[in-house]
Structure 1
Amino acid sequence: MPFAFNYAARSDVGMVRSENQDSGYAGPRLLAMADGMGGHAGGDIASSVVIGALADLDGEALGSAEASKALLQRISSANDELADMVKSDPSLHGMGTTLIAILRSNNKLVLAHIGDSRAFLARDGKLTQITKDHSFVQSLVDEGRITEDEAIGHPQRSLVTRVLTGQVDDEPDVTVREARMGDRYLIASDGLTDYVAGDTIADIVTAGEAPGRTAERLVDLALKAGAPDNVTIVIGDVVDLTKVDGPPTQPQIVGAASTRTKGTRAIPVTPAAKAAALTRAATGADDGDDDVTLAEEAPQGSRRWLRRAAVLAVVLIVLGGGAYAAYDWSQSQYFVGASDGKVAVFQGVSQDLGPIALSHVEEPSDVVVSDLPDFYRSKVEASIAKDTLKDAEALVAELRVEASKCAVSRATGGTCASDSLGPSPTPGATTTTPSTTPATTSTTPTTSSTTTGTPSTTTR
């Protein structure tokens, strides 16, 4: 029975961010999504490099064993490339990315996962999460210290313990699943899952609408929820080619990977150049390949219009003398950033409207930005949005701890890399990432059970 994906990918920069650091890919054999991090340090580069390294797997018909090996090799190669880029350009230190990739091989699906982006399976009207977050909060849940409900609003939910950063031990969990006709796979960045309730997501995904329409509705919901983060959705339905008329054959690339070559820092000529070549072909710069669609930022018309209309409304209110309304809206927002070289909690939004400042320091702190590990420093300098003042204060407390650890390490002649810092679990504890749904037929070519000492944490 000939299997195929009926697929769609959509992405939006969100309501607050100035750039999209997510990258998404959907094609006949490959679904993938990477959520970059690192602010100005290059989260968009990290995500597009990884997606670019995987892109040409979409054109290869591989057996399941070959597919697993090939997927791991491409991820490892992309991770090595990130390390080389940081060595050649120190300003990129601190960049990283999550990754979820699903590679189809006949009736098998190889799933690779690292970070806190999430993959879901919709089967028989029920939506089930099939990945487990690599995050500090998830470790608290696993240890029984907090409940799943408490994890949803936890102030440290942005701390991830495993991502692709160029470090030698950045390895994903890999599982092999059996494809079943009628299954729907959803991959989503935390721009969706952090701001839209799980039940609501399930209702939309299982409603029976086409992948493209479903992805657009999910992005809509995230924006209506005020999602400050980038939102990226990749959906793939498992279909029978003999019974489905005309599933798509042109891959869709969204987010940073669709625009990376237009920026100031081009993707090098490596496996990641595959994505760059696909981008040039789709924009007409290369007549040798007609197989790629750069999916609009989801969807370009209504999503962009909604955000721009909101910003325009604020401008008009301020210019028209209704400054109080704009001020009242901005004061419901908080972020953690740098002020005079120190970490501070800001009230408002991190963007200004020309000469009009839309934020001010609400709570200064004694945490010196330069005392932080490089990754944390870059995140603070780029600003970290938080839902409430309490969440922002909790993050400052966490950063104070990291700065103290850094100071101790330097005082004893050690280094101060962020991957050496983080909360310590029970010494010698073994953490396992089991498959959480039916139809998992084998475990990873790399084991998903690892013995850990002190896991690293990365603030997203």
Structure 2
Amino acid sequence: MSVQFKYAARSDVGIVRSNNQDSAYAGPHLLVLADGMGGPAGGDIASSVAVAHLAPLDDDVPSADDLIDQLRDAVESAHDELMNRSDTDPDLEGLGTTCIAILRSGTKLGMVHIGDSRAYLLREGELKQLTTDHTYVQHLVDTGRISAEDAEHHPMRNMILRALGDTDGEVLLDTSVREAHPADRWLLASDGLFGVVSHETITETLLEIADVGDCADELINLALRAGAPDNVTVIVCDTVETNSLRDGAQPSTVPQIVGAAATDRLARTRASEFSGAAGRAAKLRPSRELDESEEDTAAPRHRGRIIGRTLGALLIAIIVIGSLAAGYSWTRTQFYVAEDDGVVTVFQGIPQRLGPLALSDIHHRTDIAVADLPTYAKERLATPTTRSSLAEAEAIVENFRDLLTPPSSGGTQPAPAPAQSEEPTDSPSSRAAHPEVPWLL
């Protein structure tokens, strides 16, 4: 039996964020999704670096026995570059990224995972999450301290315990090898999707929309309609049996690169050195010359476009003026927590500016000194934590306040157990001990 990938990758900055720190790559043998962290100065670079190191595997596919080793080598190489960038550039201190990658060799699929981006498999009508989130809240669920339902609304649900980037020690990956089955549908997603769209709705969408591109578009739309407080990135991939395809129905083998890795940030990463399939995808640009008949009509069409653009600009101006008041009113319903003048502070509004106009102001300062917080909490405060109500923002403050008080047992929290997956070829439990550093997205 011979199988192929039929894939689509999509990414959107979302409604609240000002830049996209997600990156994704989908090709005939390789699927990669990375969700960067470290603020606007580093998150987009971190996810781009991860994609850049993994993308060459799509051209030079290893044997089935070497899938995990090749994936691990590429991921660890990306980690080393991120560590070097963090050490040499103060502006990039603290950058990091989640990463999930699936590499196909024949009918074998190797998968590596770190962080809280997820892989799902839809098989025979049932959608199953195959990865375990490397988060503090998932650890609480695994140890029976909270329920899965409570985890969905926990104020610390974005605290990550494992990531690539600015953290000392060995890279602890969850790894597995699986068999590719015809009619399987894979979904790779950042938390911008599953954080706001229910498992049931995702399942229904994957079942009802046959075309991978249309399905990926609809998943992005669902996240946007739900408010999209974070970047949202998805890869939808069908495993199709080659012999069942009609003539002319072969899937495209042109890689798709989306998110930060598809922007000018490539110039600052190894992605600028892409070769083969990855390079062709990154450099694709529509280009052609006008023939004589088109030259005759080009000038009138150009004048028509100018008039159309002018009228369009006027209409947009009217709409913008009419919606500014409503938009500003909406910002007054939003809150976020950040550092100000050395203390944890609650702001009302959103952490953005519209020209000279700040879209937030201080609601109140707390009595929590940032200097008294653990290092990872200080790093978290470098990026505002947005919430849709004052009560939710206060819950964030209380979590920071709890970090000032040592646990009653006097010890530290036990490290989360490594994720289990079917047919594992390697496990973090067999690797050297590693101090896990919490991250917050």
TM over 0.5: yes
Question: Shift in Å at residue 443 of structure 1?
Answer: 1.1
**Deviation at residue 358 of structure 1 after TM alignment:** 2.2
CA distance 1:401–1:272, shift in 2 (3 Å)? farther
Match among 312, 322, 334 for residue 316 of structure 1: 322
SS in 1 for 2:235: strand
Change (3 A) 1:223 1:29: same
Aligned to 2:312: none
In the alignment, is the contact (CA less than 8 A) between 1:431 and 1:451 conserved in 2? no
- Residue by residue over 1:174-222, the C-alpha shift from the partner in whole angstroms, topping out at 9 and shown as x without a partner, is 0001110000110000000111111001100121421111000000000
Secondary structure in structure 1 of the residue aligned to 2:234:
strand
CA distance in 2, matches of 1:229, 1:129: 21
Give deviations 1:281-314, integer Å, cap 9, x for gaps.
Answer: 22489xxxxxxxxxxxxxxxxxxxxxxx999966
Matches within 5 A, 1:11-160: 11-160=11-160
Alpha carbons 1:114, 1:164 under 8 Å: kept = yes
3-state SS of the aligned residue for 1:443?
coil
Work out whether residues 334 and 387 of structure 2, in 8 Å CA contact, stay in contact via their aligned partners in 1.
yes
**In 1: Cα distance, 2:323 partner to 2:283 partner:** 43
Tell me the residue number matched to 2:252: 248
Percent of aligned pairs sharing the same letter: 43
Kept in 2, the 8 Å contact 1:53–1:273? The answer is no
Matched, 1:443 2:429: no
- Taking a change above 3 Å as real, the CA distance of residues 91 and 68 of structure 1, as seen in their structure-2 partners, is same
Kept in 2, the 8 Å contact 1:52–1:273? The answer is no
SS of equivalent residue, structure 1 residue 390: helix
Judge conservation of contact 2:139–2:416 (CA < 8 Å) in 1: no
Tell me the alpha carbon deviations over residues 26-78 of structure 1, each in whole angstroms, 9 at most, x when there is no partner: 00000110000010340111100011000010112322221111111111111
TM-aligned CA deviation for residue 366 of structure 1? 2.8
Q: Secondary structure at the match of 1:204?
A: helix
Matched residue, 1:183:
184
What is the one-letter code of the residue matched to 2:242? L
> How far, CA to CA, are the matches of 2:355 and 2:195 in structure 1?
31
Unaligned residue ranges in structure 1 (runs of 5+): 286-308, 406-422
Matched ranges for 1:126-275 at <5 A: 126-166=126-166, 167-244=168-245, 245-261=249-265, 266-268=268-270
1:407-426 matches, within 5 Å, as 424-426=412-414
Residue 452 of structure 1: CA displacement?
A: 6.8
CA gap 1:382/1:197 in 2 versus in 1, 3 angstroms: same
**Contact 1:52/1:275 (CA < 8 Å) preserved in 2?**
no
Q: What is the match of residue 306 of structure 1?
A: none
Contact 1:50 1:272 in 2 (8 A): no
Map of 1:431 onto structure 2: 417
Does residue 437 of structure 2 align to residue 456 of structure 1? yes
**Matching residue's letter, 2:121:** L
Q: Distance in 1 between matches of 2:255 and 2:99?
A: 18
Mark the CA change 1:211 to 1:393 in structure 2 (over 3 Å): closer, same or farther: same
Deviates more, 1:165-174 or 1:243-252: 165-174
Q: 1:205 to 1:270 in 2, by over 3 A?
A: same
Query: What is the DSSP-based 3-state SS (H/G/I as helix, E as strand, rest coil) of the residue aligned with 2:366?
Result: strand
Task: Provide the rounded CA distance (Å) in 1 between the counterparts of 2:317 and 2:228.
Answer: 15
**Match for 1:98: what amino acid?**
T
- What CA RMSD, in Å, does the superposition of the two structures yield over aligned residues? 2.9
**Cα distance, 1:446 vs. partner?**
4.3
Once residues 232 and 274 of structure 2 are traced to their aligned partners in structure 1, the CA distance between those partners, rounded to angstroms, is: 22
For structure 2, the 5+ residue unaligned runs are: 288-314
Q: CA deviation at 1:260?
A: 3.9
Question: Which residue in the other structure is 1:302 paired with?
Answer: none
2:187 is aligned with what amino acid? L
Question: TM-score normalised to the size of structure 1?
Answer: 0.81
Closer/same/farther in 2, CA of residues 251 and 454 from structure 1, 3 Å limit: closer
**What TM-score do you get using the length of structure 2 for normalisation?**
0.84
Q: 1:269 to 1:255 in 2, by over 3 A?
A: closer
Q: Deviations over 1:295-334 (max 9, x none)?
A: xxxxxxxxxxxxxx9999665344xxxx4x4443112222
Instruction: Kindly indicate whether the alpha-carbon contact (under 8 Å) linking 1:348 and 1:360 is maintained by their aligned counterparts in 2.
Output: yes
| Matched position secondary structure for 2:182 | coil
Q: How many residues align?
A: 406
Query: Structure 1 counterpart of 2:283, which letter?
Result: A
Cα deviation, 1:139-188, whole Å, max 9, x if unaligned, reads: 01001111111111111101011111243322210000111000011000
Conserved 8 A contact 1:24-1:34: yes
Q: Which moves more between the two structures, 346-355 or 220-229?
A: 346-355
- Check whether the contact 2:9–2:26 (CA below 8 A) recurs between aligned residues: yes
